[in-house]
Amino acid sequence: MSDREILHCDLDNFFASVETFYRPELGKVPMAVCGSEEERHGIVLAKNQLAKQYGIKTAQAIWQAKQLCPSLVTVEPHYDRYVDFSRRARAIYDSYTDMVEPFGIDECWLDVTGSGLIFGSGEDIARQINRRIKEEIGITVSVGVSFNKCFSKLGSDLNKPDGVTVITRENFKDTVWGLPVQSLLWVGKSTLATLERMGIYTIGDICRTRLSALEAVLGKNGKSLYANAMGMDSSPVLRESEMPPAKSIGRSVTGSADLKSDLEVFRVLLSLSEEVSEKLRSCSLLAGGIQIHIRDSMLVTVERSIKLERPTRLAKELANEGFRLFKSNWQWHRQVRSIGIRATRLECDSSDFQLQFDYDYAKALREERIEQSVDSLRKRYGSQAVVRAALL
């Protein structure tokens, strides 16, 4: 059986490229798309190639970026534009195969194994996509081509921007094994630190280490890393309809000013819970648990969670449980800079669960219908079409 042909398409410097499409002069200066300093989201979200040359990194604070490059031009993000460009790129991918797996807003895997008779080899298709993204959308894409997902993802990073890289069974040892270990998919900061303590610095070092030693230190992750480094990744490209359900659904926000009272916190939790509630309904899920995330004015973070007595997705019930968790864990030593709420222990709304005699299920059903109607109105007329009195 012949190898699969897997592509990984990564839209180059995505947010920055889209902003430059609308303002071409930004392509001539070091530029970064940044969150609002006034609303205290002052970090780098994306940067162009000129900014990268100064060592500016994503998630860096704006003041740190400007220390590296005093002439850095910062622009605010326009998420509606990014969604539009992402959808247009996805339409191009869909014209080659229906096996497309998104990996964030700007990246996708494509399995084009069955597309060869019509469009040519994986490399042919990669070059066609590379050309069409430029001509039809106006930005660039880097594409990795390989026989598995791990190496195609790695390939898309090797010749940025606007590059096509092919990694085959014949050349992968020469191409991949000399690269830093963090180039490999799923090697994060914690895993990197562990590997370096073991004297493992390159992908080839992983392959030269006994599998038993990797498993002893990293557990199952050690086996996965070894398989990926050896080119044995067999994970399939999953269509969106085939992707596993979310394990949790959450929302968080950093306020324009610190929260100073229980009432302010409850109102924010209620607003966030409405978004979580709507998402749970759209996925036909119920929350069996709640987690809250609190960051104070000194950037100290606290997370707490609880299992619910009864699965729910009603916004007010989510907010009440989240607020109860907040009250039992927060002493107001400092003000609250940001807060989030997350629905956990998700289960299908058709699942059986234990009924409780002291709960008014008829009232809950009425509230569910009201929230469904509110969802419909907001989708049609905007998020502010219906607002709870408590949030006015």
The catalytic position among 107, 278, 317, 321 is 107
21, 8 contact by CB (below 8 A): no
Give the 3-state secondary structure of residue 192.
helix
* 282, two tokens: 């759209």
Per-residue pLDDT of the chain (392 residues; tens, 9 = 90+): 578 999 999 999 999 999 999 999 999 999 999 987 655 557 898 999 999 999 999 888 888 999 999 999 999 989 889 999 999 999 999 999 999 999 989 999 999 999 999 999 999 999 999 999 999 999 999 999 999 999 999 999 999 999 999 999 999 999 999 999 999 988 988 899 999 999 999 999 999 999 999 999 999 889 999 999 999 999 999 987 777 777 889 999 887 788 999 999 999 999 999 999 988 888 888 999 999 999 998 888 899 999 998 899 999 999 999 999 999 999 999 999 999 999 999 888 654 445 455 566 677 778 788 887 777 777 666 666 676 766 66
CA distance 275 to 342: 10
Residue 130: Cβ within 10 Å count: 18
Q: What are phi and psi of 387, to 5 degrees?
A: -130, 130
Tell me whether residue 107 is one of the annotated catalytic residues.
Answer: yes
HSE value, Cβ hemisphere, 13 Å, CA-based, for 123: 5
Beta strand segments in the chain, E: 6-11, 31-34, 44-47, 73-75, 100-102, 107-111, 141-146, 164-166, 249-259, 285-296, 301-312, 336-344, 347-348
- Domains, the chain, ordered by start: 1-170 (3.30.70.270), 177-229 (1.10.150.20), 249-357 (3.30.1490.100)
HSE value, Cβ hemisphere, 13 Å, CA-based, for 124: 10
Nearest Cα to Cα of residue 343 among 369, 308, 376 = 308
120: left (phi over 0), alpha (psi -120 to 50) or beta: left
Nearest Cα to Cα of residue 148 among 205, 230, 206, 239 = 230
Residue 352 is predicted with a pLDDT of 47
Residue 22 is predicted with a pLDDT of 96
Angle, in degrees to the nearest 10, between helices 211-218 and 220-229? 140
CA-only gyration radius of the chain, Å: 24
Query: Could you tell me the pTM of the whole model?
Result: 0.71
* 353, two tokens: 């669960």
170, 164 contact by CB (below 8 A): no
Q: What are phi and psi of 116, to 5 degrees?
A: -65, -40
Q: What is the DSSP letter of 113?
A: G
